[in-house]
């Protein structure tokens, strides 16, 4: 499993200390990773692309992970002079993986400035530098780091304690009876253009005013119907790209993932993934796409977004791609 994140939805991020780098990872990635390699690219001390991968078994798979990481970072460098910091999270320092990634990054002109290790990212955990400096330390609480507090205040970003907790945020919040009733109501709205359009307008007003908790049954059902109609669904994708305030559309579609049933929920998860990618949040995008695939395997829009995610497209490029698609 690979996650990428881009910092475009946040103010410029600068990291100046080893413990600060490790403490920043839950915010940069979107959750607190375990048994992972995190590669943080830096232009000077400013953070660029952050890449997280599961720790691979030793051997050929390690080389494949290292090569993939180097290709992804090279594709996003935008002619900038980059360096990288590697952070291994797990019981083993994984010198083989650090060496492989360092070697592959060197082939694309990205030197590794520092390699760090900690068994877990949590307050009180020891960390060490894997370079010759011998630097060691104890982590403060990552949740109280300057980056975490700033991200929460400026973008509303939530840093989850694990990928499992992130996935749980996209769980359905409705019981079987409600899901069945809403599915029937959504089906009954097929062709009811005025009703669906009214629901879309009401949804937009609630989203922009920060009143997602006040969505009524008619609006939820109407949005479900809109997601099943290609023209209206395309308009909702376009609108998602036009709202540039960080976190707004991600929260809106997360709410719909929690409240809609069936195929409509699969499309809501796909739009949640798009909104997350536009916020530079690859972790939420991947989890949302897993939800869509589980609900409706092979959904064409979800497949397209999965391909975009795999290529690690930047939020700016994705926004332009969506805008060009509706012109």
Q: How far apart are CA 182 and CA 180, in angstroms?
A: 6
Tell me the HSE value of 44 on the side-chain side, using a 13 A CA sphere.
4
Q: Residue 281's pLDDT is what?
A: 86
Q: Which of 100-104, 152-156, 197-201 has the lowest mean pLDDT?
A: 152-156
**Is the pLDDT reported for residue 325 higher than 70?**
yes
pLDDT for residue 258 is more than 70: yes
Which residue, chain included where needed, has tokens 């000077």? 44
Is the pLDDT confidence value at 30 over 70? yes
Lowest mean pLDDT among 85-99, 154-168, 173-187, 291-305: 154-168
Distance CA 108, CA 112 (A): 11
Q: When comparing pLDDT for 186 and 76, which is higher?
A: 186
**Percent of the residues in the chain that have a pLDDT greater than 70, as a whole number:** 89
Q: What is the mean pLDDT of residues 57-85?
A: 87
Burial class (CB in 10 A: 0-12, 13-18, 19+), 156: middle
How high does pLDDT run on average in the chain? 88
**Spatial separation of the C-alpha atoms in residues 80 and 42, rounded to whole Å:** 10
Average pLDDT over residues 58-85: 86
Per DSSP, 124 falls in state T
pLDDT of 84: 94
Using CA atoms of 36, 40, 41, 44 in order, give the dihedral in degrees to the nearest 10: -150
Quote the pTM value.
0.79
Q: What is the pLDDT of residue 81?
A: 86
- DSSP structural state of residue 206: H
- What are phi and psi for residue 299, nearest 5 degrees? -55, 125
Q: How much is the pLDDT for 12?
A: 52
Is the pLDDT assigned to residue 164 strictly greater than 80? yes
DSSP, collapsed to helix, strand or coil, labels residue 244 as: coil
Higher-confidence position of 220 and 317: 220
User: What confidence score (pLDDT) does residue 154 get?
Assistant: 47
Give the pair of three-digit tokens for residue 183: 């599915």
Helices (H), the chain: 18-29, 60-75, 95-107, 146-155, 163-169, 176-188, 193-208, 217-227, 230-242, 248-259, 262-278, 282-295, 300-311, 315-326
Identify the band that residue 16 occupies on the pLDDT scale cut at 50, 70 and 90.
low
pLDDT digits (tens, 9 = 90+) for 226-251: 999 999 999 999 999 999 888 899 99
pLDDT higher than threshold 80 for residue 183: yes
As given in the structure block, the two tokens for residue 63 are: 């080389």
Per-residue pLDDT tens for 102-131?
999 999 999 999 999 999 999 899 999 998
Q: How many CB atoms lie within 10 A of CB 135?
A: 15
Angle at 130 between CA 124 and CA 135, to 5 degrees: 55
pLDDT value at residue 7:
58
Across the range 275-291, mean pLDDT stands at: 91
The per-residue pLDDT for 128 is 94
Select the more confidently predicted residue: 90 or 27: 90
Burial class (CB in 10 A: 0-12, 13-18, 19+), 32: buried
Question: What is the spatial distance between Cα 120 and Cα 131, in angstroms, rounded to a whole number?
Answer: 19
Question: CB-side exposure of 56: number of CA atoms within 13 Å?
Answer: 21
Task: Please report the pLDDT score of residue 153 as a whole number.
Answer: 43
In whole angstroms, what is the distance from residue 41 CA to residue 82 CA? 6
**Residue 64 and residue 66: Cα distance in Å, rounded?**
5
Over 50: is that where the pLDDT of 191 sits? Answer: yes
**Does residue 50 have a pLDDT over 80?**
yes
């Amino acid at each position: 499993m690979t996650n990428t994140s881009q910092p475009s939805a946040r103010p410029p991020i600068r990291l100046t200390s080893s413990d600060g780098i490790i403490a920043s990872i839950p915010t940069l990635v979107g959750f607190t990773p375990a048994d992972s390699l995190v590669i943080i690219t830096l232009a000077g001390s400013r953070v660029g692309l952050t890449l997280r991968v599961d720790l691979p078994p030793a051997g050929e798979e390690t080389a494949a992970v290292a090569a993939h990481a180097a290709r992804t970072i090279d594709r996003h460098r935008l002619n900038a002079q980059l360096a990288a910091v590697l952070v291994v999270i797990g019981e083993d320092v994984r010198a083989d993986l650090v060496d492989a990634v360092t070697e592959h990054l060197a082939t694309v002109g990205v030197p590794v400035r520092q390699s760090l290790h900690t068994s877990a990212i949590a307050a009180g955990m020891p960390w060490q530098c894997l370079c010759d400096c011998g630097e060691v330390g104890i982590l403060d609480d990552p949740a109280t780091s300057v980056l975490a507090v700033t991200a929460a205040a400026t973008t509303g970003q939530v840093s989850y304690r694990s990928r499992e907790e992130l996935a749980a945020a996209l769980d359905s919040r409705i019981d079987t009876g409600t899901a069945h009733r809403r599915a029937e109501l959504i089906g009954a709205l097929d062709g009811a253009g005025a009703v669906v359009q009214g629901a879309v307008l009401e949804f937009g007003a609630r989203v922009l005013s920060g009143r997602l908790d006040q969505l009524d049954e008619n609006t939820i059902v109407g949005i479900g119907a809109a997601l099943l109609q290609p023209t209206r669904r395309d308009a909702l994708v376009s609108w998602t790209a036009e709202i540039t305030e960080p976190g707004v559309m991600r929260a809106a579609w997360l709410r719909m993932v929690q409240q809609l049933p069936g195929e409509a929920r699969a499309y809501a998860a796909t739009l949640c993934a798009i909104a997350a990618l536009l916020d530079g949040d690859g972790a939420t995008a991947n989890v949302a796409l897993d939800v869509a695939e589980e609900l409706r395997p092979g959904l064409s829009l979800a497949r397209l977004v999965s391909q975009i995610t795999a290529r690690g497209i930047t939020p700016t490029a994705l926004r332009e791609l969506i805008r060009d698609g509706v012109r």
